[in-house]
Structure 1
Amino acid sequence: MEQTKMKCIIVDDEPLLRQHIAEMTEQVDFLELVATFPSALAAASRLQQGDIDLIFLDINMPYLNGIDFLESLENPPLCIFITAYSEYALEGFRLQAVDYLLKPIVFQRFFQAATKAFQQFVQRNKSTQEPVANDTMLFVRQGDAFVKISWTDILYAESMQNYTKLHFKERTLTIHQTMLALEEALPGSHFFRIHKSYLVNVNHIDIISGGRVYIREQELPISRTKREELLQNVVFKKLLSR
């Protein structure tokens, strides 16, 4: 599988430094150098094309410095600042720059900053490719109709052979779907089958004690093997992600 690369540009008014950074990018297999520019003004039109993922940007440049230039961009790419002065680091963090490189730049430090940028790049792409997390609406069948509900409001589901009863805080809803069909429609990161008859929303679990799960004072059975799986694979992950 071909590795995804970040398209990058270099913006610096020092020709030798531009060449030095360009040579370092050639040594990093996840970087693809598109162009180099002697000033922010020269780079502006290229950035308007919207396909640049990362910019190595000098701060001290004539006419328009790197900080003012980055602030002027509506949808800026990831940025690694280049500077001879460490006091600019605070400004870089304010602008959410990935990192800053102090001159003279050594390859080890360059690679560290580039790797940090690549990690953010991968995470950003992953987020845009995944289903929208806040799309919580679900249509369930009730008789001859389909009813829209929010799965975040489901406390737990109870199997009734060819039907399933959904338990909410203030009501219950019996739907014409099997537990298996419902389980396949719900996000596995939020719902867990604790028993052949019960599917619970892990976000609403209050207590796990012995062979029981408690949701709003409702006691539900859980098998020993399912209990360990619930604790190890679901609940701990939820706690760690908070």
Structure 2
Amino acid sequence: MYRCIIIDDEPIAIRVIRNHLLVFTNFEIVAECSNALEAMPVLQKENIDLLFCDIQMPQITGVDFIRSLLHPPKVIFTTAYRDYAIDAFELNVVDYLLKPISFERFTKAINHFLELQTANPTSTSEKQETREFIFLKADKKHHKINLTEILYFESLGDYVIVYTNDQKIVTKERISHLSDLLPAKRFIQIHRGYIISIDKIESIGAGFVEIKDKKLPVGRNYKPDVQKLLSL
């Protein structure tokens, strides 16, 4: 069963996609959202395989929303505008459907999605391990950050500071979400407020990890994971 989210600020457009999708018995609609920000907590809590996303929406466009996701699911854009086709191509979306969406055209997009699933059944965790960069939003821009440049993440409530080799970026993101999305072979959470790059560890002491002359505390609940590093 493939789990889907529909994002569109037009109720009629949502109804059209829902009715088309109900014909396919192996698809489940997990949520219907009127804007991208409503979909964010759903994506954080649920395993989503396919996202039907409008582009021109209030607060944030569908294109910017997909760019902001660390590990987006497969995406089918549904829009009345042709102008974003190049952006869609760069984001490697499954399809780009122009409204009004006929059932025939919708079926073609679904078949393309199914072909991709058959040809590349890579699990989410495997995709995470092969990812080399992330996009994080800060200062009204999406910053591309290579994973090899990251030293550690520090939590500040609903915000996270990302420390790299030569800068720090403050982004509105919860560290628990990053913990789920970052490659486990490259990053480890050592405290409820810190995730660190394993490659950047300089030393491990009693209750702390040192990175670039900065001593970061190891939380009691995270000590067993740190001990595993020492055994390796």
TM-score by length of 2: 0.51
Alignment partner of 1:120 is 2:113: no
Runs (5+) with no aligned partner, structure 1: 131-242
Secondary structure of 2:24's match? coil
Counterpart of 1:18? 14
Alignment partner of 1:73 is 2:69: yes
Q: Deviations over 1:181-235 (max 9, x none)?
A: xxxxxxxxxxxxxxxxxxxxxxxxxxxxxxxxxxxxxxxxxxxxxxxxxxxxxxx
Counterpart of 1:60? 56
Secondary structure of 1:125's match? coil
How far off its partner does 1:111 sit? 0.8
Give distance in 1, aligned partners of 2:113 and 2:48. Answer: 13
Q: Deviations over 1:116-151 (max 9, x none)?
A: 112212333267899xxxxxxxxxxxxxxxxxxxxx
Give distance in 2, aligned partners of 1:125 and 1:82. Answer: 24
> Contact 1:59–1:65 at 8 Å: present in 2 too?
yes
> Contact 1:7–1:53 at 8 Å: present in 2 too?
yes
Give distance in 1, aligned partners of 2:3 and 2:117. Answer: 11
Counterpart of 2:25? 29
RMSD: 2.0
Counterpart of 2:47? 51
Counterpart of 1:195? none
Letter paired with 2:84: Y
Counterpart of 2:217? none
Give distance in 2, aligned partners of 1:119 and 1:10. Answer: 21
> Contact 1:8–1:52 at 8 Å: present in 2 too?
yes
How far off its partner does 1:28 sit? 1.3
Give distance in 2, aligned partners of 1:126 and 1:36. Answer: 26
Report the CA distance shift for 1:88/1:129 in structure 2 as closer, same or farther (over 3 A).
closer
Letter paired with 1:101: L
Q: May I ask how many residue pairs the two structures share in their alignment? A: 126
The ranges of structure 1 where at least 4 consecutive aligned residues each deviate by more than 3 angstroms after the TM superposition are: 126-130
Largest Rg, 1 or 2 = 1
Runs (5+) with no aligned partner, structure 2: 127-232
Give distance in 1, aligned partners of 2:32 and 2:64. Answer: 19
Secondary structure of 2:5's match? strand
Give distance in 1, aligned partners of 2:44 and 2:120. Answer: 20
Residue pairs, 1:201-216, within 5 angstroms:
none
Letter paired with 1:104: P
How far off its partner does 1:30 sit? 2.7
Give distance in 1, aligned partners of 2:42 and 2:123. Answer: 26
